[in-house]
Amino acid sequence: MVRAVDTTTLEQAAAKSAIVDAYIAAAEEIFRKDTETNLSIGEHGSKWLLANAPVKSPESKVSVLTHCNTGSLATSGHGTALGIIRSLHSAGNLHHAFCTETRPYNQGSRLTAFELVYERMPATLITDSMAGALFATQKASRYIAAVIVGADRVVRNGDTANKVGTYALAVLARHHGIKFIVAAPTTSLDLQTTTGADIKIEERKPEELTQISGAVVGPDGKIDVSRVARVATAHQEIGVWNPAFDVTPAELIDAIVTEKGVVEKGENGAFDFRDIMPERWAAVVGK
């Protein structure tokens, strides 16, 4: 946005409107590019999953689980991880979508669940701690083929920082023979950081674990969105550790889907992004 204004030639009288016009034009271009990127991620990811799914229904449909929110409320309208699910659904290849609540801030239950219902996708909400039981008891019968997540950052070797709880899902997916897919635009790829050990993890306020707020549910079971209440969910004097993200090692990730294509691990067990972003790779890493 700053670049858009800096490159605008201004005359004193037209300065205000020119700046506004430059901001709007830049914002609309960002929106357009992000939509294009999301649609490409959805196409690449859905095709890769259907070709590599460990289980499928007789109609070649698959079920997936996603964590946190990566849909239209987080992007320009299609989504990254949820964009892959949307692409599966629009092509008639989605059997069922599961979303975790994503404690403690509940992005999955507040946002992703809303999007799945709004889009009329077959979907089920589970608590974060139910994923292992779901995989163990329903993988075959529900055709659960993959866990698909977004990424706050993917570093050079493929280690991925994402909403806390992602790492545990990757471990469970590997144990149960389920694919683990990261969906991320190339703008989320950090070539300067070599491994996830160098990612600084944000810690959020303790009240997210000990309190919760939401619309009031009346005695008749109806939700009154005009009334919001905040309630305690734990003793307010308990110590709290609340990291916002965790890092999933590259060894637990089967594919990283970008708008440029799908990247799989090489023979050395690491991801190599030089083919999808050769100019950035050459500038940061070299030959």
Question: Which residues are designated catalytic?
Answer: 152
Continuous segment of H or E residues that includes residue 262? strand 261-264
Q: Which of 124, 181, 123, 184 is nearest to 147 (CA)?
A: 181
Q: What is the DSSP string of 98-159?
A: EEE--TTTTHIIIIIHHHHHHTT--EEEE-GGGHHHHHHHHTTTTTEEEEEE--SEEETTS-
CA distance 11 to 9: 7
Q: What number of other Cβ atoms are within 10 A of residue 97's Cβ?
A: 26
**What amino acid is encoded at 203 in this protein?**
E
Phi–psi pair at 161, nearest 5 degrees: -95, 130
Give the separation between CA 79 and CA 150, rounded to whole angstroms: 9
Looking up tokens 């034009």, which residue turns up?
Answer: 25
Taking the CA atoms of residue 94, residue 259, residue 257 and residue 117 in that order, the dihedral angle to the nearest 10 degrees is -30
